Amino acid sequence: MMATLTRPQLPSTDKRWMIVQGTMRKHGYSRNALIETLHTVQQSFGFLDKDAIRFVAASLQIPPSQAYGVATFYHLFQLRPPGRHTCQICLGTACYINGAERLMGHAEKQLGIQAGETTPDGEVSLLAVRCVGSCSFAPVSIFDEQIHSYSKVEALDAQLKAWTQP
Amino acid sequence: MSATPAVKTFVIDGVDASARPEQTILAAAREHNIFIPTLCHLDGLSDVGACRLCLVEVKGARRLLPACTTRVEEGMEVTCNSPRIAAYRQMTLQLLFAERNHVCSVCVANRHCELQALATSLGMTHVEIPYRFPSLTVDASHERFTLDHNRCILCTRCIRVCSEIEGAHTWDLMGRGIQSRVITDLDQPWGESDTCTSCGKCVQVCPTGALFQKNRTGGQGCKDPSFLPYLRTMREEP
């Protein structure tokens, strides 16, 4: 006889956990729903914290280490809260050969952080993305939701200054 | 329609050989006393082809294939020992050494290390690839065992034994590429893990000095994974 595990309670009364639970229910609490559920957590909370991963893993009966491994394997999942602004620079092949590496180097120097990190004041997150599907406009960068084609270091610099200076 | 033959015949290093269906090249080669070096393979655990030391040439295949995860096919022609493969093995070994901080003379597993033993038996005299010297941590939070990332070769034996034999699945791999690391639970200190049963199987199967018992110093960290085939047999359905 298989021992049945009870599903954990919601971590808090926050309504967003209901959305997360909804995704898992939609997939019948199947283990395959892990990535889908982590997406829902990220969309609802903006990032994945350890409590969220622990809750999802326990609900889907997946070992916590395995869920954490999946969350850290994919660049799309963020384990820290995002900054107020996000600067995404595409490092896909077309953008790369058109000088995206220089853009990234400049942004890292300007913000004093590495790609994938957020400035200590929580103002700007710098992300490296792989191909946003606009290769004909390479190099492409995305400031918040705004896509910039044929990005230049000067324009990037101006945008970062606008964000970081009061 | 012809029925699948019960025995597959193939050629390994110029010798006619036979293999049972589902048998891997590695298992068949061992039965025919042909040596293929391995590091991530361990009898009693599943195979993942992580260490790339068992790469062999298969006639008709464009790339080298790992013997531990490739099944024998009827009429296959396998070469396990050739100058090309020897060169690849040397390079793979050197890459393993250069990736993290493998300093045998001060390692707890000195003279009990499978990586060291392989380097010796394959005649690796020096590492041509520059060492990366990454800055890695040591986790000594567990009461009885220590995890030293500096010596880990990411063979994932600890992960597999914990998941497949112990059934706790405390270990897993986080990150990707050069950032990969073995973790316990949510990348928390081993001593604070909720799922670890402190059974010590991971320590016994670790091929290097990455996992070792406390109170052991240089060269005292001997391992004994011989319990594995026994446990595997005893846990199979009668």
pLDDT tens-digit readout, B176-206 = 899 999 999 999 999 999 999 999 999 999 9
- Say if residue A97 is in the same domain as residue A149: yes
Domain end (from A38, A73, A108): A73
Residue A124 domain boundaries: 85-164
Domain count for chain A, please give it: 2
Is residue A30 one of the residues assigned to a domain?
yes
Q: Which residues of chain B make contact with A64, given a CB cutoff of 8 A?
A: 185-186, 194-195
CATH number at residue A41: 1.10.10
Q: Which of B163, B172, B176 sits opposite A68 (nearest CB)?
A: B172
- Say if residue A159 is in the same domain as residue A96: yes
Q: Which residues of chain A make contact with B178, given a CB cutoff of 8 A?
A: none
Rounded to a whole number of angstroms, the distance from the CA of A166 to the nearest CA of chain B is 36
**For chain B, percent of residues with pLDDT exceeding 70:** 97
Rounded to a whole number of angstroms, the distance from the CA of B165 to the nearest CA of chain A is 15
Q: Give, in degrees to the nearest 5, the angle at Cα B45 between B42 and B46.
A: 110
Is residue A79 one of the residues assigned to a domain?
no
pLDDT tens readout for residues B53-107: 999 999 999 999 999 999 999 999 999 999 999 999 999 999 999 999 999 999 9
Q: Which of A50, A54, A72 sits opposite B174 (nearest CB)?
A: A72
**For chain A, percent of residues with pLDDT exceeding 70:** 98
Domain end (from A52, A73, A94): A73
Nearest to B95 by CA among B154, B12, B144: B154
- Say if residue A91 is in the same domain as residue A148: yes
User: Residue B233: what pLDDT?
Assistant: 85
Q: Is the pLDDT of residue A1 over 60?
A: no
- Say if residue A102 is in the same domain as residue A142: yes
- Say if residue A90 is in the same domain as residue A130: yes
pLDDT tens readout for residues A83-108: 899 999 999 999 999 999 999 999 99
Domains and CATH numbers, chain B: 8-81 (3.10.20.740), 87-223 (3.30.70.20)
- Say if residue A152 is in the same domain as residue A104: yes
**What residues of B are in the A interface, CB distance below 8 Å?**
163, 168-176, 183-187, 194-195
ipTM rounded to 2 decimals: 0.89
Interchain proximity B172–A53, CB inside 8 Å: no
Best mutation target among B159, B166, B174 (most A Cβ atoms within 10 Å) is B174
Interchain proximity A68–B170, CB inside 8 Å: no
CATH number at residue A115: 3.40.30.10
User: Residue B222: what pLDDT?
Assistant: 82
Three-state DSSP class for A57?
Answer: helix
Q: Let me know: does B90 contact B189? Beta carbons within 8 Å.
A: no
User: Residue B2: what pLDDT?
Assistant: 57
Interchain proximity B170–A50, CB inside 8 Å: no
Kindly state the average pLDDT of the residues A59-70: 96
> Out of A118-132, B1-15, B123-137, which region has the weakest mean confidence (pLDDT)?
B1-15
Best mutation target among A65, A68, A117 (most B Cβ atoms within 10 Å) is A65
Torsion angles phi and psi, residue A20, rounded to 5: -60, -45
Q: Which of A50, A53, A65 sits opposite B171 (nearest CB)?
A: A65
Domain end (from A8, A43, A73): A73
Q: Let me know: does B38 contact B96? Beta carbons within 8 Å.
A: no
Kindly state the average pLDDT of the residues A56-77: 94
Is residue A80 one of the residues assigned to a domain?
no
Long-range pairs for A111-116 at CB < 8 Å and ≥24 separation?
A: A111/A160, A111/A164, A115/A89, A116/A75
pLDDT band at B221 (very low <50, low <70, confident <90, very high): confident
User: Residue A164: what pLDDT?
Assistant: 86
Q: Is the pLDDT of residue A113 over 70?
A: yes
Task: Supply the pTM of this predicted model.
Answer: 0.87
According to DSSP, residue B70 is labeled: P
Q: Which of A53, A65, A72 sits opposite B184 (nearest CB)?
A: A65
Interchain proximity A69–B176, CB inside 8 Å: no
Is residue A58 one of the residues assigned to a domain?
yes
Sign of CA dihedral B177, B181, B185, B188: negative
Q: Which of A65, A66, A72 sits opposite B175 (nearest CB)?
A: A72
Buried b (16+ CB within 10 A) or exposed e, A75-111: eebbbeeebebbbbbbbbebbbebebeebbebbbebb
Nearest to B17 by CA among B91, B73, B95, B100: B73
Best mutation target among B162, B185, B190 (most A Cβ atoms within 10 Å) is B185
Q: Is the pLDDT of residue A76 over 90?
A: no
Structure tokens at B179: 């950032």
> Considering chain B, what is the average pLDDT of its residues?
92
Tally C-beta pairs within 8 A across A and B.
Answer: 41
